[in-house]
């Protein structure tokens, strides 16, 4: 897309990266979106441009880990967990670039940036060929999605035990956020567990490079214009956020789509929804668990979370009910039918505690969970299920978040650390 690329831009350089474990899971299952307290390690300064006909490998030491990560809002090529992979970059691609020049002028006019300093910053930016490749749709035919495989990646002992530990260590903050925002602790725990397994892997890409690449050199795909505008807005918000918080833009690491920190917020979400829940005068989603917890809760509240309401209901297993569910499953996350419409069509619920008469006008959506070689499973999603899909648009993601949180909560209840609840956890076996 750039016609005035310096000659040196044709020379690739490689940086060793440590993979996002959860992101690799997501691409393998073809469920994507955008997706997320150990100490955060800053990225090293950008490497100098290589001499002609020369490549180099820039190795980074992996950050200490306290739990595993996932960013289902992203896609990534499969890698072996814990082993490094090489990120291909092209230094200095954005120096003397007309598109960048126009963007810098906008930033100077709209946000009072110093244009000279911003030009110097972009001159240090590298094109990430790796980020560009990872946002490309898979060239092979679409893989058939498998709910059972996806679920097994998230609802498993390592992640559940990490969630129990996180809940224990942050119980007061979780309770405070629940009281203030109306979002249950288990839902907050579920999101952070699915996104980064409680901060263990938050991404090792330079966010500035990734956002610059995807703003000015998004691959040639059918949705390129829309995606470029999304990343352009996030690049704008990233630069404003780092300036206002006195952060070096080149020091911030995250996912290859620019998601940052324990909850994997994109920069626009940081500006719109992140909160200083630690009360120290600034927001830090990279190291502050309190800020991450409060920000996730605020995000869900602002997207319409209904306090005290269910996330899903079970559908009866008889052929008539399952047939209605199959016919009504349209893949739309927003509840558009009322429960009474489905009941009149012949569906029955497997929810003995639900007062059907008082819920007839409740909007619902049919959540379909296909697994090759098995009958598709169906649930009814309510408004709170839809809110979870605002974090990541995948049905699989939203239900995995819910079920992980419920599994962590159940383990704490079984140990006597939490009082038993009558809430049902939708966990088809």
Q: Is 413 a catalytic residue?
A: no
Catalytic residue among 87, 186, 195, 377: 195
Q: Under a CB-based contact definition with an 8 Å cutoff, are residues 116 and 57 in contact?
A: no
Alpha carbon distance 192, 392 (integer Å): 13
Cβ(69)–Cβ(255) below 8 Å:
no
**Which two structure tokens, joined as six digits, stand for 337?**
């039918």
Rounded to 5°, angle at Cα 301 from 298 and 302 = 85
CA torsion 323-327-333-339 (nearest 10°) is: -60
Q: Which residues are CB-contacts of 16 (< 8 A; sequence separation ≥ 6)?
A: 57, 58, 59, 60, 84, 85, 86, 87
Report CA Rg, the chain: 23
The label of the residue with tokens 């800020």 reads 291
How far is the C-alpha of 165 from the C-alpha of 407, rounded, in Å? 13
d(CA 189, CA 400): 12
Q: Is 224 exposed, middle or buried, given 0-12, 13-18 or 19+ CB atoms closer than 10 A?
A: middle
Distance (Å, rounded) from C-alpha 142 to C-alpha 153?
Answer: 20
265: β partners: 260
Residues belonging to the active site: 195
């Amino acid at each position: 897309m750039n016609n005035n690329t310096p000659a040196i831009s044709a020379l690739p350089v490689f940086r060793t990266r440590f993979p996002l474990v959860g992101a690799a899971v997501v691409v393998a299952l073809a469920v994507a979106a955008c997706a997320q307290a150990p100490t955060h390690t800053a990225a090293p300064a950008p490497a100098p441009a290589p001499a002609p006909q020369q490549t180099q490998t820039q190795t980074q030491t992996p950050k200490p880990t306290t739990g595993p990560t996932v960013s289902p809002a992203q896609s990534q090529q499969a890698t072996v967990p814990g082993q490094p992979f090489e990120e291909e970059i092209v230094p200095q691609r954005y120096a003397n670039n007309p598109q960048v020049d126009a963007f810098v002028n906008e930033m100077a006019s709209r946000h009072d940036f110093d244009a000279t300093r911003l030009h110097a910053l972009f001159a240090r930016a590298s094109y990430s060929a790796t980020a560009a490749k990872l946002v490309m749709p898979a060239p092979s035919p679409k893989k058939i999605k498998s709910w059972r495989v996806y679920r097994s990646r998230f609802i498993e002992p390592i992640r559940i035990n990490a969630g129990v530990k996180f809940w224990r260590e942050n119980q007061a903050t979780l309770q405070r956020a629940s009281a203030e925002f109306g979002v249950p602790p288990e839902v907050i725990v579920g999101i952070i567990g699915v996104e980064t397994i409680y901060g263990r892997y938050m991404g090792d890409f330079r966010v500035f490079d990734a956002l610059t690449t995807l703003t000015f050199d998004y691959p040639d795909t059918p949705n390129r214009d829309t995606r470029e505008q999304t990343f352009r807005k996030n690049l704008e918000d990233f630069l404003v956020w780092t300036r206002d918080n006195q952060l070096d833009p080149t020091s911030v690491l995250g996912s290859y789509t620019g998601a940052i920190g324990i909850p994997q917020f994109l920069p626009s979400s940081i500006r719109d929804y992140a909160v200083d829940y630690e009360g120290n005068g600034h927001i830090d989603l990279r190291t502050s668990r309190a800020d991450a917890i409060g920000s996730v809760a605020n995000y869900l509240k602002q997207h319409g979370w209904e306090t005290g309401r269910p996330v899903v209901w079970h559908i009866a297993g008889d052929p008539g009910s399952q047939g209605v569910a199959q016919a009504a499953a349209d893949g739309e996350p927003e509840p558009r039918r009322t429960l009474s419409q489905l009941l009149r069509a012949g569906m029955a619920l497997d929810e003995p505690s639900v007062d059907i008469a008082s819920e007839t006008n409740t909007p619902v959506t049919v959540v379909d969970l296909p697994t090759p070689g098995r009958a598709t499973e169906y649930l009814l999603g309510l408004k709170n299920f839809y809110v979870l899909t605002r974090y990541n648009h995948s049905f699989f993601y939203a239900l995995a978040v819910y079920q992980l949180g419920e599994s962590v909560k159940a383990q704490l209840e079984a140990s006597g650390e939490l009082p038993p609840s009558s809430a049902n956890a939708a966990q088809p076996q």
